Amino acid sequence: MICVPLVSSSREELERDLHEAARAADVVEFRLDYLAGARPRELLPLSRLPAIFTCRRRSDGGRWEGRESDRLALLQEAVDAGAPYVDVEVDAAAGLRRRPPTRTIISYHNFEETPEDLEDVYARVASLHPDVAKVVTTARDILDNLRLFRLLQRASLPTIAFAMGERGLVSRVLTPKFGGYLTFASLRRGAESAPGQPTAEELHSLYRYRQISARTAVFGVIGNPIGHSLSPHIHNAAFRQAGLDAVYLPFLVDDVVKFLQGFAAIPVAGYSVTLPHKVAVMSALDEVEPMAREIGAVNTVVSRDGRLFGSNTDCAAAVGALVSALGDRPGDRSPLAGKSVVLLGAGGAARALAYGLRREGALLTILNRTAAKAEELARPLGSQWGGLEGLAQSRCDVLINTTSVGMHPRVEESIVPPAALRPGMVVFEAVYNPMKTRLLREAEAAGCLTVSGVDWFVEQAALQFETWTGRSAPRRLMRDIVVATLAEREAERSRTSGAT
Ligand code: NAP
């Protein structure tokens, strides 16, 4: 079930929110600490959905500053009026006279951590014989979620258990997988009643919360930061289209090795891996495909019979996007063979491309702001290298930008002088935020063939989907989702920059 807390402070807003919540939630929560002077008896008939009555003290993350006896009197009024649920904290539960039909939720909140003695905390709550036990902690580490899952699996009575904060999102979304009684979701962004609460819309349309069950396969992206990752949008949409019982989550991870060991208990069926974990992840895998080992980075992990296999779809996706722009050649020869390619940048993206290009037989020159890094990458590949000043003299068939120049917020920058762009040349841009960088705009104007960072991003995700599922990926849908999500973010940015 999804419970939407109503955090409006006026009666008018409350009635509007109740109307909206009726479409998104199974249960609503009246927060008496937000509604000064509101009486449970008057609120009760307003909701078509079953309602929880709660009145949180400041120390429990609420707004109540009045006397404790007045607070308990309000909760008692809700019980006496026959409210479906009343939530009272574990230390205050003795002060409430409980009686049917009201179900009492006895709750524990910890805004600092997920304490070591979590099982004892639960035992203390359960010893008071609540109708529903509630244990809400804060995830300081992603592994804290596992302890809440174990608590749910062993629970002796209906239990709500999850962790707050960005690292706890996983426990909120996977509640139905582990038999949790309900999860909380805000009505809209900005209406959260606790840190890390997703919106009801996200639970429904992004994570397909209602379809999640004990059998649902779990996938996700490991990174740090991870909040703005496009991967949950693209992969959840692809799973939905393919009719797969699977959900894809963002995992905010500090220590990737400990994370993989811990989450083997769920188990997770597959991962995308992004910055800064693409290198460190390799030491935690049972097997790494030779190309990924050569590149020195893994961006895809699949679990088969409990063993973790790593691969790199960045390389194949980038080369694939270039090959289709150049057009297939008759015979076995790659269209990149013998082509002169200038690769700008020597970071992670450049690495994945450089190995792929060498394999295709391209004549590669790597130019980077820090020339020593270009040399480090180029030497083992037998390629040329130099600083960015080398760009002015270069005449190439393919020009690739893998530097972050042009990326939001410095969208008006490009390191390629327009004079270096010639008709018929292929220009490949790694940056996808914004979708059309200054380099791509100028390359189009100069009559170049262009390949965008979106093409690359979609293809690496499509190859991941195929690695995990063995099915062909819904590329068109994946592309539409990426374009729509990026367009929404670009519009949001221009709205907020216009407002300031
Ligand atoms: P990275 O490892 O941090 O490397 C950044 C590169 O950009 C380095 O070569 C750096 O040069 C160069 N650079 C940064 N600021 C510069 C400046 N002001 N002038 C000149 N060069 C500058 O990052 P990465 O992982 O390679 O990612 C690079 C870009 O590719 C990002 O925008 C990322 O979003 C994008 N990307 C896209 C995809 C996709 O699927 N489309 C995949 C991967 C990456 P120094 O060595 O001198 O610092």
Q: 235 in a domain, yes or no?
A: no
Distance 257 CA to ligand 1 centre (A): 25
In a domain, 92, yes or no: yes
Q: How many Å lie between the centroid of ligand 1 and the Cα of residue 432?
A: 12
Known catalytic residue: 134? Answer: yes
Q: What secondary structure letter does DSSP report for 117?
A: T
User: Going residue by residue through the chain (500 aa), what tens digit of pLDDT does each one get?
Assistant: 999 999 988 889 999 999 999 999 999 999 999 998 899 999 999 999 999 999 999 989 899 999 999 999 999 999 999 999 999 999 999 999 999 999 999 999 999 999 999 999 999 999 999 999 999 999 999 999 999 999 999 999 999 999 999 999 999 999 999 999 999 999 999 888 888 999 999 999 999 999 999 999 999 999 999 999 999 999 999 999 999 999 999 999 999 999 999 999 999 999 999 999 999 999 999 999 999 999 999 999 999 999 999 999 999 999 999 998 888 666 778 999 999 999 999 998 999 999 999 999 999 999 999 999 999 999 999 999 999 998 888 889 999 999 999 998 889 999 999 999 999 999 999 999 999 999 999 999 999 999 999 999 999 999 999 999 999 999 999 999 999 999 998 888 888 776 54
Amino acid at the residue 235: H
Identity of the residue numbered 257: V
Question: Is position 290 within any domain?
Answer: no
Q: 251 C-alpha to center of ligand 1: Å?
A: 23
Known active-site residue 33: no
Supply the pLDDT for residue 478: 98
Is residue 129 a part of any domain in this protein? yes
211 in a structural domain: no
**Does ligand 1 lie within 6 Å of residue 428's CB atom?**
no
In a domain, 396, yes or no: yes
Cα(420)–Cα(446) distance, integer angstroms: 10
Q: Is 283 exposed, middle or buried (0-12, 13-18, 19+ CB in 10 A)?
A: exposed
Regarding the beta carbon of 373 and ligand 1, being less than 6 Å apart is answered: yes
432 lines ligand 1 (CB under 6 A): yes
Q: What is the Cα–Cα distance from 75 to 309, expressed in whole angstroms? A: 54
As given in the structure block, the two tokens for residue 426 are 């292929």
**268 CA to centre of own chain:** 15
Last residue of a domain, one of 142, 168, 198: 198
We report the CATH number of the domain holding residue 27 as: 3.20.20.70
User: Closest Cα to residue 220, out of 203, 202, 201, 234?
Assistant: 234
Q: Which atom of ligand 1 is nearest to the CA of 350?
A: 26
pTM: 0.94
When divided into structural domains, the chain yields a total of 2
Kindly state the DSSP code that residue 175 receives in the 8-state scheme: G
Q: Is 80 a catalytic residue?
A: no
Residues near 204 by beta carbon (within 8 Å), at least 6 away in sequence: 24, 210
Looking at 148, 183, 198, which one is the last position of a domain? 198
The answer to whether position 174 is within a domain reads yes
Answer yes or no: is 420 within a domain.
Answer: yes
Q: Is 52 left (phi over 0), alpha (psi -120 to 50) or beta?
A: beta
* Residue 76, token pair as written in the block: 């008692």
Length of the chain: 500
Nearest-atom index, ligand 1, CA of 369: 47
- pLDDT computed for residue 370 by the predictor: 97
For residues 202 and 247, give the distance between their C-alpha atoms in angstroms, rounded to a whole number. Answer: 13
Looking at residue 330, the DSSP 8-state letter turns out to be S
Query: What whole-number distance in Å separates Cα of residue 457 and Cα of residue 231?
Result: 9
Report the CATH number that the domain containing residue 419 is assigned in CATH. Answer: 3.40.50.720
Of 132, 164, 198, the last residue of a domain is 198
Q: Which domain holds residue 347?
A: 327-457
